[in-house]
Structure 1
Amino acid sequence: MLTGVDHVQLAAPPGSEDLLRTYYADALGMTEIPKPPALAARGGCWFQAGPVQLHLGVEPDFRPARKAHPGLRVTGIEAYAARLAAHGAPVTWDGDLPGHRRFFSRDPVGNRLEFLEPTG
């Protein structure tokens, strides 16, 4: 039986770790967590905020997905969108999901992310 999502893996091009750290740690406010030594040699970086983990793995022929994305729940979505915009991240609001406020953004390598907060 499934009990939850352990993490979401996103891909990134080789050598992009510093860009990813700026976005995921500084803009999103996540904490970088150490990768196990056997996996650290592969490059990439992992981040966590509460129970949410995002793993960024290096993919030599990286191409960001156009549609696929993690959906991340937030509180204070207006302030969170302003925080991302202040860090230069794109914020595109979308009102098509009933019962939620949401926007999309892209990390510095083009990965799409959805941020949502239930209404009412």
Structure 2
Amino acid sequence: MKITRCLHVAILVSDRARSEKFYDQLLQLPKVPRPFNYAGIWYQLGDTQFHLIEDPNFTAPIQNPEKIGRNPHVAFGVKDLQVVRSQLEAQGCIYQMSASGRQALFLQDPDGNVIEITQEEASSS
């Protein structure tokens, strides 16, 4: 077996409209159409899709609330983490900087799913 790439990541959310506001407006992810009739939303990030699947009874389990990055999470790359920090702070969003010293932060969506946002290394081209 040789896995060649990640096609998509799917997470559960309890309230599609509330999650849509978080992922569309706060994180500004680009939405794409989805061919299914169950409740959910799809986003396209480069070659990978990010799927939200609605389950009204879902709450993310957090095992380590002191360091939320040490829980299951999805990571997104950005060009300028300081811009992201400023935007999150302007919206009153709580986040934790990475304890490793990397240019990364962790925050939670309305259901407690952990999101990592990491500054991508500048390419040497």
TM-score normalized with structure 1 length: 0.81
- 87-96 or 103-112, larger mean C-alpha shift: 87-96
Write the distance in 1 (CA, Å) between the matches of 2:17 and 2:56.
17
Alpha-carbon distance, 1:22 to partner? 1.2
The AA in structure 1 aligned to 2:72 is A
When residues 10 and 2 of structure 1 are mapped into structure 2, their CA distance, relative to the original with a 3 A threshold, is same
Alpha-carbon distance, 1:72 to partner? 1.5
Are positions 1:110 and 2:112 aligned together?
A: yes
Write the distance in 2 (CA, Å) between the matches of 1:65 and 1:4.
27
Instruction: Name 2:85's counterpart in structure 1.
Output: 81
Give the RMSD, CA atoms, in angstroms: 1.9
Write the distance in 2 (CA, Å) between the matches of 1:46 and 1:61.
20
The AA in structure 2 aligned to 1:42 is Y
Instruction: Name 2:26's counterpart in structure 1.
Output: 27
The CA deviation string for residues 73-93 of structure 1, in whole angstroms up to 9 with x for no partner, is: 211011112222323332211
- Aligned pairs for 1:60-75 (under 5 A) are 60-66=56-62, 67-75=71-79
Write the distance in 2 (CA, Å) between the matches of 1:65 and 1:42.
23
The number of equivalent residue pairs is 113
TM-score normalized with structure 2 length: 0.78
| Aligned residues with identical type, % of pairs | 24
After TM superposition, the runs of 4+ consecutive aligned structure 1 residues lying more than 6 A away are: none
Write the distance in 1 (CA, Å) between the matches of 2:98 and 2:16.
29
Write the distance in 2 (CA, Å) between the matches of 1:85 and 1:34.
31
Checking the alignment, whether the CA contact within 8 Å between 2:58 and 2:111 is kept in structure 1 is no
